[in-house]
Every structure is written in C-alpha cells, then in structure tokens.
Amino acid sequence: MLDIRIAEIGTFVIYLTDVALLLLLVGLKTIHRSRMRDHDRRRQEYLGVLSRHVSYQDCTDPITPRMAGDSAFLDALIDVREVLSGYELANLEAIVAEHGVSAGLVRRLASPFPLGRRLRAAVALAEIGDKTTAPAMIHHLSDREPDVRVECARGLARLKWTAAIDDIVARFAIEEAPVRARFADSLVGFGSKATWPLLAYARVNHRAEDAGPALALRTIGRIRDLAAADSIHQILEEGPSLEVTIASVEALGVIASPYSVEKVEPLLHDDRWQVRAKSASALGQISEPSSVPWLSAALRDVNFWVRRNAASALAQVPTGIEALYDALEDADPYAADAAAEALADAGELVAARRRVSAGSSGDEPLLAHMESEA
C-alpha cells in the first residue's frame, strides 16, 4: 500500500516538473520572439535614420550614443554598407567614425566577455570595413578564440589591408587544418598581393611538412596569378612529397599558364598514379594542343583514374576530340573504353546518334563501342 502511494507521488512530481519545464520553455520562447520583434522594429527605424544621413549631408536626425551602441543599429549599418558604394559610403564611414561605433566594437573584442559577444564584435568589424580598426584586427589574429582570428583575417582581407598579409600567412602556418582553410579564403581575397608570401612559405617549409605548404599552393592556384607559375615549377623540380606535388600540379592547372605544359607533361610518367592522374587533369585545364600526344599515350596507363582523367582532358583540349575518336580503334580495350566515355560525356554520343539517324556515316565505331558496353 505504502509502495503504491510513493509511486503515485513520484509520478505526480515528474508530471509537475514536466509542466514547469514546458511553461519555462514557452515563456523563454515568447520573450525571445518579443525581443526579436523589438530588435527588428529598431533596426527598421535606424535604417530610416541612416538612409536620411547618407542621402542628405545636412541631415539633422540625431544619432545618440545609445543608438550607436545598439546591436540593431549595427545590423542596420552593416545592411546599408552592403549595398552602397561611392560617395554615400564615405558618408556612412563618417557616421561610423563620428559616433565611435568601431571603437566600441574594438573595446568589446578586447574585453573578457564570453566568445559569443566577442565573436559578434569581430564579425561586425569585418563587415563594417573601417580602416582605423586594422591594427586591432591584426592584434586579434592571435586571439585565444579561433573564430575571432578567422573573422579578423576576413576583415583585413575585405579592407585589402596588405600590410597584414605577412601576419596572416604567419598564422596560416601554425593554425589547425579547419582554421587554416578559412585563413586561406581570406588570403585569396588579397589577390596577387598574397602570392609571394604564400610562395615563400611553401618553398621554405615543403620539405618539413605537407599540409600547410600544399594548402598554400592550392591557395595560390585560386588566386590565379600567372606570375606564380615559374616558382611552382621550381618547387616541382625540388622533388617534393606526394601531397605537395599534387597541390603544385593542381595549382598549375588552375593558373593555366602555357609555360607549365612542358613541366607537367613529364609527370604523366611519374611512378605515383595520383601524380599522373592529377597531371592529366591539369593538362586538360591548361588546354594546349601540344599535350594531345602525351594525353593520348596516357589513355593506355595501367591505372583507371589516369586513363579516365586523360580522356576527360583530351575532351577539353583543341584537337583532343579527334584524338579520342582515334583511340576508339586502339588495340588496348581500356584506352578505347576511356575514350568512348569521355566522348559520351562531351555530348559526342548524342551528336553521333543524330548524325547517323540523319543518314551520315563515320560515327559507327563510337556507337558500336557504346552498344557493346551496354
């Protein structure tokens, strides 16, 4: 009897706790919604004020310190900054300077607040793009929080603050992989100004480690600076590790300098199939007709991926399509397979069927090959 009573009381307490938690959750959600509505209302009001300030030089609408410190004002400011350029942007920058908006954010960044508030300050600084905050952002490239470091690098790239490139590359060298990748995105934002610091880092360090120099080389590729090709050739001549070789070839493919062709072609004979496969793709991207014999030979490679990449590359190079048609007759059935697939991917199969149904001849080898495959 007593046991039943205790069980009933226990059930009742659990029920009461559930109800209380549910009510608390509903209450918190209501408060959050109400705060968001209030935030949106204030943001809209500030958009109006900022619109008048950027449109009328003589606008007398007051911007109070309380407004300038409001997160809704900051959101409105960032929104307006995103869509304007030219003279009105200068007006907006004057508002930011006059009302100490950036200075407040820099103070918040340096404060002992938890990550959330400091990160919001870093994001806002990156978005606002106020040149006076560059020294603070450089300082916080060494912040204790990785996300803050990333935002500072992004902000400096948005400002095109080239004096910060060496500091960003220095951090890039020591960051963990996920943070380093986001630093790489920022470095791309600097364009060719970041090429030489990245190349210097890759050249000095590629014997000691793989991941950092490889990402540096890929980042240089994304910048697409033709002037970097020669230095990447030199790195390749030094016989780097597999990962650095692959990254170098990948970068050369994206940069697509015709001078890289003679450096990449011999790599189709490298002992490592990954290098041969990547080199085939790079030659396709560079797209020089002189590569056609090399790529045709690579169709007979022992490795499937090399054959496949060589065939895809031929489809991108002028006169490569003719070489693929020739390869359909190759004594090596694997070469013929790779060629037929690349031709089909390039739309040649559809075109061939259309030509044959229109009564022309010459496409039979491709159609016969694809039918035998089916």
Partner 1 sequence: MPKILVADDSETIRMLLRTALGRAGYEVETANDGPTAHSMAKDGGFDLIILDQLMPGLLGLDVIEQLRDDGVEAPVLMLTGVDDGTTAAESLDRGAVDYIRKPFDMNELLARIKSRL
Q: Which parts of this chain interact with partner 1 (CB under 8 A)?
A: 44, 47-48, 51-52, 54-56, 76, 79-80, 82-89
Min dist CB 36 to partner 1, Å, is: 15
Nearer to partner 1, 54 or 317 (CB): 54
Q: With respect to partner 1, which residue has the nearer C-beta, 15 or 56?
A: 56
First to last CA, the chain: 77
Other residues' Cβ atoms within 10 Å of the Cβ of residue 326: 14
Closer residue to partner 1 in complex, CB, 130/363? 130
Minimum distance of partner 1 from residue 92's CB (angstroms): 11
The closest alpha carbon to 166, from 195, 197, 205, belongs to 197
Nearer to partner 1, 49 or 321 (CB): 49
**Cα(359)–Cα(35) distance, integer angstroms:** 72
Q: Which residue has the tokens 């199939």?
A: 273
Q: How far is the CB of 87 from partner 1 (least distance, A)?
A: 6
Distance between CA atoms of residues 226 and 255, nearest Å: 6
Return the amino acid letter for 269: H
Phi, psi dihedrals of residue 175, rounded to the nearest 5°: -75, 160
Which 3 state secondary structure label does DSSP give 147?
helix
Closest distance to partner 1 from the beta carbon of 74 (Å): 14
- Tell me how far, at minimum, the Cβ of 48 lies from partner 1, in Å: 6
Looking at the chain, how many residues does it have? 374
Write down the least CB distance from residue 159 to partner 1, Å: 15
φ, ψ (nearest 5 deg) of residue 362 = 115, -15
d(CA 70, CA 47): 13
Burial class for 17, CB neighbours closer than 10 Å (0-12, 13-18, 19+): exposed
Instruction: Please report how close the Cβ of residue 44 comes to partner 1 at its closest, in angstroms.
Output: 7
- Residue 62 or 359 having the CB closest to partner 1: 62
**Residue 128 to residue 105: CA distance in whole angstroms:** 10
Q: How far is the CB of 53 from partner 1 (least distance, A)?
A: 9
Nearer to partner 1, 51 or 205 (CB): 51
- Closer residue to partner 1 in complex, CB, 45/145: 45
Of 189 and 365, which CB lies nearer to partner 1 in the complex structure? 189
CB 86, CB 70: distance < 8 Å: no
Do the Cβ atoms of 81 and 127 come closer than 8 Å?
Answer: yes
| Alpha-carbon gap, residue 290 to 285, rounded angstroms | 13
- We find the least distance from the C-beta atom of residue 216 to partner 1, in angstroms, to be 28
Cβ proximity to partner 1: between 53 and 263 the closer is 53
| 32-62 per-residue burial string, b: 16 or more CB within 10 A, e: under 16 | eeeeeeeeeebbeebbebbeebbeeeebeee
Residues 6 or more apart whose Cβ sits within 8 Å of residue 324:
311, 314, 315, 339, 342, 343, 346, 348
